[in-house]
Structure 1
């Protein structure tokens, strides 16, 4: 039972991240209001950004130890945002955004990466990943330890995506249903 707790913590933190609107369910729900089937499509870049953030932070912890200067994630986010702003400045501002995914899938991936890094997705997993990885290294194999870490990150991301998708779909259906009824009433002729 002792070995199960870190895995439950990893899954629980993933579900908790899925409830946070900053991690992407609000964007996925907004896309779901505009286009049918957009919520599942939005989950892919959200997952990629989240996993990239965890990989960067976990890699930094693995190479630098458990003491990490908190300024580097902020510096990384600042450089990414400045680069994004420079790209938009160079390309110019479009008058009419294209319908659908205005930020694009790359923009949604970047958003997910920055949000996961800013709220510490990788750092909060470290206390749960350490016992999981140490149980693998006790077997004497670095690949076993890496495999266990990747399995834990996959479990965390799957739990986050399940909750994110459920919340986004529920919000999109709920608001879409309310808007549909409101528009339907407004379109009926007055008696």
Structure 2
């Protein structure tokens, strides 16, 4: 997720490290804070792999660098967006990172393939709580906090599925989902 966010923001144009950190933090920081201890090692790994390069930033002084994608970095971000890992589809924070940069894919069919994978995942019956293999519905839960969790998750899932269907140009599959 962190590497995709770095590559995605740099695909939009060169950035100094502190600006990149700010953008990544705004994207993911509310749920997963980004520290210098995780950001700069990731930048170093990507640079070592030839996916980004550092150049002195003439506007900021000798100790500051401007980061930019190489051709290999641009190809890599597109590859990551075309074929996100399963956990990048099922984990909402990771999926939102993919979604943030999906417009970088020039082919709408490729964009739709990613959205379709997310929709298929969201169409599967799921819950935070189970009775054996059967998902427990909010209406079956006496605990008000667990019920609230299930109701909120249901509403969020319903809204996301509706948006995905709209983005894909599809009609809703269910009236009361």
- The TM-score normalised by the length of structure 1 is 0.28
Greater percentage in helix = 1
Greater percentage in strand = 2
Bigger RCO of structures 1 and 2 (CA < 8 A, at least 6 apart):
1
- The TM-score normalised by the length of structure 2 is 0.29
